[in-house]
């Protein structure tokens, strides 16, 4: 089954696009485990929590794959944890790197930070989205995994996402 990961900086419409594409293709999408984990945490997270988030994300992805959908949409994946760990802490646990590199999708849709910032208690970087976008782009290039940059309004993003998926898969 083809795997499509929606990725990019905070507040760029990843969840919205993941849900819309899953609806359009009548398939399932894998939610971002970090949201669930951090909401239940009850304290500020530390770098060690990223390892637990990685394990939870892997479990969610594995559970979704057992349902054998014709297409699997991910609302982010391990690339986010790797990039964030390196950005915030200056390094990344080798387990996270190894798991990320062994689970590359068929296609990334990289969301541009051209939508207005939407405040959310779990978001941290309203002013660094352009810098983070470049980190994502460079990571995807170095992973040698096909990717396509997505920008524009919510409706434009959905149309572009569908077109890209149709052309790439």
pLDDT tens sequence for the chain (169 residues): 899 999 999 889 999 999 999 999 999 999 999 999 999 998 999 999 999 999 999 999 999 999 989 999 999 999 999 999 999 999 999 999 999 999 999 999 999 999 877 766 676 676 789 999 999 999 999 999 999 999 999 999 999 999 999 998 7
- Any idea of the CA torsion for 155, 107, 38, 46, to the nearest 10 degrees? -130
Rounded to whole angstroms, what are the CA distances from 83 to 128, 133, 153, 163, 168? 13, 10, 25, 27, 25
pTM, two decimals, is: 0.94
Task: Spell out the domains of the chain, with CATH numbers in brackets.
Answer: 3-168 (3.40.50.300)
CA–CA dist 25, 57 (Å, integer): 22
Which residues, in sequence order, are CB contacts of 59 under 8 Å at separation 6+? 33
Chain-centroid distance, C-alpha 16: 12
Rounded to whole angstroms, what are the CA distances from 33 to 50, 57, 80? 11, 5, 11
- Selection from 80, 85, 7 nearest residue 49 by Cα: 85
């Amino acid at each position: 089954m083809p795997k499509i990961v929606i990725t990019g900086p905070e507040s760029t419409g990843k969840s919205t696009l993941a849900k819309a594409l899953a609806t359009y293709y009548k398939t399932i999408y894998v939610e971002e485990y970090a949201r669930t984990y951090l909401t239940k945490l009850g304290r500020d997270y530390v770098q060690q929590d990223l390892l637990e988030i990685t394990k939870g994300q892997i479990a969610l992805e594995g559970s979704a794959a057992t349902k054998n959908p014709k297409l699997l949409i991910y609302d982010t994946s391990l690339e986010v944890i790797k990039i964030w760990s390196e950005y915030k802490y200056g390094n990344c646990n080798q387990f996270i790197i190894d798991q990320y590199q062994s689970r590359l999708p068929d296609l990334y849709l990289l969301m541009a930070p051209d939508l207005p910032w939407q405040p959310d208690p779990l978001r941290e970087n309203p002013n660094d989205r352009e810098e983070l976008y470049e980190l994502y782009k460079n990571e995807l290039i170095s992973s040698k995994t096909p990717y396509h940059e997505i920008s524009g309004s919510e409706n434009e993003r959905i149309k572009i996402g569908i077109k890209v998926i149709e052309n790439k898969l």
